[in-house]
Chains A and B, each alone.
Chain A
């Protein structure tokens, strides 16, 4: 019995703990399956609800439906699950870069529920970001259950994300690319295989439950050399639209913060406005996959002017939904706006040059989608692979690459941060691996502090202090009060050198007369980034650390450099 146990232990350690690849693949596929399930559940329930609410859309009071949904959704997020509104992708990115992918278990269902309420009632938002949030929370909690370390947990978060996106679009490679390009931000060999397997698992779950009901059916398109020039024009147009989309999302979200309504009031106002638009243009309501399908298949019937108006109506409705209390993502709105842009471009092109034999309207809708995803998320690869997988072939690859790369470059030029990262950058929370901010956030003051200091009393005579200097190696001497041990100031050898070489002064002064009481100090809870800024500002090489009026130790820049370098080595060459 003992031997069997030993053999089991040995195999367990060899296979799973020492080399974690197998472990990550197995756990990753579980994460992919779970997040795929979450995606399918959200999609099916959305379809059911939208179907059920459809007959009521014609009534005038339908405009309160989105308001009701947004209200319930924001109440649920604020009061029950206590998570902030918004789409959740920045939170996942921040959790990955700051806390090793640590996410709460309730995140795995709270966003699903809130976005279900928002979208089913007609709010203009996408179900992808909530599904990403829930998939990554599932991956994170699987890692927590298996007691994995941060690196492995991040991989599983990526697996959950990839599974979710793959399941929604039935596009495993798009899931893999989205997860690595947007969420993790680094292409690492150890990550790619588990994430790829998770993506395939997610897509298979979707196919197994609802076979043949993928959102976008495979459609063959014929794109020829003649389409290259128009696609350049489309790229520029999608870049402009995506910048407009990003800006209005933020502007209108900012308006909500300025209005003095409580959060539920904002949700009601925003929902009513969206509902009012929706009565005249039902196209803006919900996630809009149905309309994308009609555009891809080429049976979209709106005229040029109406299409143009609908683009901006959709942008406005999405901004109102997401900025004013609703919950959901921007992925589906991006796709809808992108396909509208493509269709509009094609229609205008057809009017201007009726004889040019370029590809169908559906093909341009796809190009527009790729352009908008690349522009808004600044993730060109995600755009390219999503469309490649939707079309099921590589006929469109050249115009796709053109549109994606130009759109992302242009929008990057106008708006350097993508929509997902902008908030993080503004809050100083953007910490991709290998960046300065990431390394500094990893190092805590506890690891850098040197506590081995002789402390001297403020009532000590200078002569006694000279004798202490002779025997010690330190350059800084914290001065404390006699009875209470409270920190009073610090004596720096370089500043008292003049007095130290003047024996006549030895019996004349006490330490509180020569100490520097105005030295800037740090405390243990401070961020290293702030402490370093403080040191730069005051031109210091060493800073005392004070906690509860007690001297704890000193932090030296030399020590920071030493550990910074080690950290850089550790972060850049992981396997």
Chain B
């Protein structure tokens, strides 16, 4: 197999001018035909093995790790769903009822998820103020197939040990199998929740369609 200078520069991880210089100084096994150079892959491999140089022959460079396409917040909400009138008097109760209600979580994982969510709450409350909480597990639940954000309006506001001591009336569950996506969804959600008018809008307990549409509109103003 013949390699070009460009390919070789990628395999060795250096610039093309460096390859040029190495050819000039006689440091690479190269065959020259006129003004062009070509490198024989087997010769190169033998040479690299002798000198203990790692050749990066794989097609994919290690930097481009497989990251799925980032999912939008609205899509995640559509995955998770919007639920109203969740019962519950304290944090655990509210979380339990919410999880039971959310349909997209497989039944057999619900107890485990509750344990994880409670662990997270005990470490530090996820109530971010203004009556909003974003419960999520600290380690990613790998058993979920796709990321989901579920919105649960509580029947009665619950004391959530939030930072501003306001009772929480809405829970945004972020359940995501991948940490990268989790952070992405969290940052998108925080962006929306920074908007005061949006919080007022939430307090009016809008219909799911209207809510998603509103979030869609808010998202477009986010450049991230």
Contact = CB atoms under 8 A, between A and B. Distances in A.
Is chain B found bound to chain A in the same assembly? yes
Interface in A35-91: none
A570 B15 contact: no
Interface in B151-199: none
A447 B15 contact: yes
Interface in A549-575: 562-563, 566, 569-571, 573-574
Interface in A441-490: 442, 444, 446-448, 467, 470-471
Interface in A172-205: none
A149 B17 contact: no
Contacts of A442: 21, 25
B14 A563 contact: yes
Given A470-B224, A569-B51, A573-B51, A563 B18 contact: yes
B22 interface: yes
A447 B26 contact: no
A227 interface: no
A282 interface: no
A470 B25 contact: no
B65 to A, nearest CB: 14
Contact of B24 (A150, A470, A571, A574): A150
Contacts of B144: none
Given A18-B31, A151-B27, A467-B223, A570 B22 contact: yes
Contacts of B53: 566, 569
B52 interface: yes
B159 to A, nearest CB: 31
Interface in B12-71: 12-15, 17-18, 21-27, 29, 31-32, 50-53
Nearest to A575: B50
A152 interface: yes
Contacts of B23: 149
Given A149-B23, A470-B224, A447 B17 contact: yes
Given A470-B223, A569-B51, A447 B14 contact: yes
A150 B20 CA distance: 12
B7 to A, nearest CB: 17
A13 interface: yes
B128 to A, nearest CB: 17
A471 to B, nearest CB: 7
B217 to A, nearest CB: 19
Interface in A210-263: none
Interface residues of B, number: 22
A127 B128 CA distance: 89
Given A149-B23, A150-B24, A446 B15 contact: yes
A100 interface: yes
Given A444-B17, A446-B17, A470-B223, A151 B26 contact: yes
Contacts of B50: 573
A323 to B, nearest CB: 36
A426 to B, nearest CB: 26
A17 interface: yes
Interface in A1-41: 13, 17-18
Name A's interface SS: helix
A563 B24 CA distance: 17
Contacts of A563: 14, 18
Contacts of A17: 31-32
Contacts of A151: 25-27
Contacts of A569: 51-53
- Among B24, B27, B51, residue most surrounded by chain A Cβ atoms (within 10 Å): B27
A448 B52 CA distance: 23
A12 to B, nearest CB: 11
Contacts of A562: 13
A532 to B, nearest CB: 17
A444 B21 CA distance: 10
Nearest to A566: B14
Contacts of B52: 569, 573
Contacts of B32: 17
Contacts of B24: 100, 149-150
Interface string B206-224: 0000000000000000011
Nearest to A562: B13
A100 B31 contact: no
A148 B12 CA distance: 23
A467 B222 CA distance: 10
Nearest to A149: B26
Contacts of B18: 447, 563
A523 B32 CA distance: 33
B17 A152 contact: no
A148 B223 CA distance: 56
Contacts of B27: 151, 570-571, 574
B70 to A, nearest CB: 13
A18 B40 CA distance: 11
A525 to B, nearest CB: 15
A471 B222 CA distance: 12
Interface string B94-116: 00000000000000000000000
A424 to B, nearest CB: 20
A446 B224 CA distance: 34
A100 B22 CA distance: 12
Given A18-B31, A569-B52, A100 B25 contact: yes
Nearest to B25: A150
A448 B17 CA distance: 10
Interface string B125-148: 000000000000000000000000
Interface in A114-149: 148-149
Contacts of A100: 24-25
Contacts of A18: 29, 31
Contact of A150 (B14, B17, B26, B31): B26
- Among B25, B32, B52, B53, residue most surrounded by chain A Cβ atoms (within 10 Å): B25
A566 B48 CA distance: 12
Contacts of B51: 569-570, 573
Contacts of B14: 447, 563, 566
Contacts of A148: 26
14 contacts: A100-B24, A148-B26, A151-B27, A442-B25, A446-B17, A447-B15, A447-B17, A470-B224, A471-B224, A563-B14, A569-B53, A573-B51, A573-B52, A574-B27
- Identify the 6 closest CB pairs spanning chains A and B, nearest first: A149-B26, A151-B26, A150-B25, A447-B18, A447-B15, A570-B27
Given A151-B27, A447-B21, A471-B223, 13 more contacts: A17-B32, A18-B31, A100-B24, A148-B26, A150-B26, A152-B26, A447-B17, A467-B223, A563-B14, A569-B51, A569-B53, A573-B51, A574-B27
Interface of A: 13, 17-18, 100, 148-152, 442, 444, 446-448, 467, 470-471, 562-563, 566, 569-571, 573-574
